[in-house]
A and B are shown apart, each in its own frame.
Chain A
Amino acid sequence: MIWEVFRQEREGLPFQHGGSLEAPNLVFAEAYAREFYGRRDESFALWIVPREAVDEVREPYVAEVFDRDYRRVDGYSLKVKLKEARERAGTAGAR
């Protein structure tokens, strides 16, 4: 049986996928997960989930049929805008 393990690096941070492991039941899965993801004090908490419990959605992208590129942020350089704004405020290079 395959288990997916998610780990939280520090309290309050989101859980992220750590990897998967094979174990006959949850007790074994927990023991191995502690070994793989907890031994070096690298995780604050773990989620151990049977792979079958994960609902995978393939290609979740909803086709874009209308031009709504104003929703997208690519090509918008914050760096340049920020530089200009700082110059206007006379604080360029202050940081």
Chain B
Amino acid sequence: MSAQELLALADDELILGWRNSEWTGIAPFLEEDVAFSSIAQTEIGHARAWYELAAEELGTDADALAFDRQPDEYRSARFVELRLVPDWAATIARHWLYETADAIRISDLKSSDDPRVAGLAEKIDREEIYHRMHADMWADRLRNEPRFAEALETLWPYALGMVDGAQRDRLCEGAGREPVTPIERGEHADELRPLWEEMTMVRRSIPGATW
């Protein structure tokens, strides 16, 4: 697996984790605040693990990959970059679509020829079981909510753009939706820039510092 492919995975997890963490303190109720923040935190932990693999190949470290690149060097899908706070229905729609797509991606990575990738995917999948349980229970609860259906509709082409090739057919099946033209990886959402500013602010304030 190429370093660029690993970076796409890591960037998706980092940016989504960051976006989900924007709910910390303002989620609809306390229990959900704790649960959703915890999910955000594990996604960022998964990002770190993928960055570490990429860093071995690129001769750098995880922090440098996460925070020292320019916004246009990130390989994240536009899907994860969208800022959805304070729309809870849209947030759950993305969470559910992301987990559905990520499950497909991880199941493929588990049979990777690279034992490090396969091993890591195996470990990550064990935590993702909880994420999927959480996403499914919310999707089920909001099933008849028009705002949720509308958000799914809007986000669907973005979600398709997160996975590649044959995985797209499986995502259509998993999400129970018809194929549409995917919004491909490559161009970034306008919201990425302000996110990047915030995300890298401390690290940029004292270049080269160790923490």
Binding site for B on A (CB under 8 A): 21-24, 27-28, 31-32, 34-36, 39
Q: A24-B141, A32-B31 in contact; A39/B134 too (CB < 8 A)?
A: no
Contact of A36 among B34, B130, B134 (CB under 8 A): B34
A22 to B31, CA, bound (A): 7
Contacts known (A27-B137, A28-B137); A35 close to B30, Cβ less than 8 A:
no
Residues from chain A with Cβ under 8 Å of B133 in the complex: 31
Query: Given A22, A27, A34, which contacts B30 in the complex, CB threshold below 8 Å?
Result: A22
Secondary structure of the B side of the interface?
helix
> How many A-B residue contacts, CB cutoff 8 Å?
29
Are A35 and B34 closer than 8 Å at their CB atoms? yes
Q: Is B35 an interface residue (CB 8 A)?
A: yes
Q: Are A34 and B130 in contact (CB under 8 A)?
A: yes
B38 close to A (CB within 8 Å): yes
By a CB distance below 8 angstroms, the chain A residues around B211 are none
Nearest CB in chain B to that of A24: its residue? B141
CB distance from A38 to the nearest CB of B (A): 9
CB of A35 within 8 A of CB of B38, answer: yes
Docked complex Cα distance between A27 and B32 (Å): 13
Contacts of A21 in B (CB 8 A): 31
* Distance in angstroms between the alpha carbons of A30 and B147 in the assembled complex: 26
